[in-house]
Amino acid sequence: MKTNNQSLESFYYGLDSLYWVSVQMFISDIEYKSESGVFWYLTHPIQMVNLTGIAVSLSINSANFSIQLDDGTGIIDCVLWYTDQMKVLQNPCDIKLGDLVSLNGRLSYFRDLKQVVINSYAVESDPNLELLHWAQAMHLKRFIIQHPFEVDPSVKTQLTTLPEFKPQLEKSPYLPEEVEMIKIIKSHVEHIQSFEFGKLGADQELCNAIKTHLDKPKMTPQELLLLIRKYVRILVKEGFIYLKNELTDLHEVISINNLGKELVDIIKNESGNHGFGYTLFDIIMVNLGQKKSFCRLGKIPVKRMLDELVMKDLISMNENGRYRAY
């Protein structure tokens, strides 16, 4: 079936109820679109699944165990990362080859393969549960074929009137000439990774690129400095770079090695403070606000980094949007 809705803007996905629940489905129906980084079930964007099948492969190590699950329609890798409680067990994995396994988990994409990061699982003793899963999955499939996900035009109109939606609905909040300047400075900064602002303002390669682009060969150093400062602030606002050291005006490109590491540490600490469990996004933001280097970051770049950490399986997110670090 053609999935026309796969061009929908990502901020509409939350209007689909299937996006927020674990979907009872067949492995062969899980579709991943690399251009959007989103999983789809026909016309519906999804994040989590309920699967039932036979464990046809098993791998166990000190940090996790993984199985290949075969439900008769396809095979998918499934991984469970050990909690602190599981790590002390002599044998944290009770699955054996050939077992019938039901599991719930979050879809991810790792090393060019679809996989499920397991939230919970059960080894089933009753083979009829596989038939029950088939019946429930087929029933849901018939329902969603009859009810494709579509956003009502009137809803779109209402959303566009909300101030918080306007920046997302526009291709860019900046003028075309500003977009080009952002690209020039972003490309230069991306190459050098970290910089002190004073030295960046005196960088001849960057200054010449700006003069050439603006066709203003006689720009003064002061004019260049003011212009560069403007776009450095925009890059900070957009979450591409952050002010690492206020005294030296040292900036650094945001990456997994800095912001990502900080977020993982915050999540680990919060889990330790409150016992085993998942951490709310708002609690992560409060903790990050107490870090001098990252206190200026808004929610969008933080959420973007959390999504990247989830995709790389460095942290997990449950169905309630809470996070846990391994």
Give the chain as a 3 state SS string.
CCCHHHHCCHHHHHHCHHHHCEEECCHHHCEEECCCCEEEECCEEECEEEEEEEEEEEEECCCEEEEEEECCCCEEEEEEECCHHHHCCCCCCCCCCCCEEEEEEEEEEECCEEEEEEEEEEEECCCHHHHHHHHHHHHHHHHHHHCCCCCCHHHHHHHHCCCCCHHHHCCCCCCHHHHHHHHHHHHHHHHHCEEEHHHHHCCHHHHHHHHHHHCCCCCCHHHHHHHHHHHHHHHHHCCCEEEEECCCCEEEECCHHHHHHHHHHHHHHHHHHCCCCCECHHHHHHHHHCCCCCCCCCHHHHHHHHHHHHHCCCEEECCCCCEEEC
Tens-digit pLDDT profile for the chain (326 aa)?
344 454 456 667 878 888 888 999 999 999 887 555 678 899 898 989 999 999 999 998 877 889 999 999 999 999 888 877 777 676 778 899 999 999 998 888 776 788 998 888 999 999 999 999 999 999 999 988 888 888 777 766 666 565 555 544 445 577 778 888 888 998 888 888 888 988 888 899 999 999 999 999 999 988 999 999 999 888 887 788 888 887 788 888 888 888 889 999 888 887 665 444 567 888 888 888 888 777 777 777 888 888 888 877 788 887 677 888 87
**What residues have CB less than 8 Å from 295, skipping those under 6 apart?**
288, 289
Q: Tell me the C-alpha distance between 286 and 288, whole Å.
A: 5
Number of Cβ within a 10 Å radius of residue 238: 17
Residue 276 has what pLDDT? 47
Residue 293 has what pLDDT? 75
Main-chain phi, psi angles of 225, to 5 degrees: -60, -45
Q: Tell me the C-alpha distance between 178 and 164, whole Å.
A: 21
Q: Tell me the C-alpha distance between 190 and 185, whole Å.
A: 8
Residue 56 has what pLDDT? 95
Residue 169 has what pLDDT? 44
CB 127 within 8 A of CB 100: yes
Residue 100 has what pLDDT? 96
Q: State the angle between helix axes of 176-192 and 204-214 in degrees (0 to 180), rounded to the nearest 10.
A: 160
Backbone dihedral region for residue 323 (phi beyond 0: left; psi -120 to 50: alpha; all else: beta): beta
Main-chain phi, psi angles of 239, to 5 degrees: 80, 25
Q: How many CA atoms lie within 13 A of 59 on its CB side?
A: 10
Residue 134 has what pLDDT? 95
Confidence (pTM): 0.51
Residue 157 has what pLDDT? 67
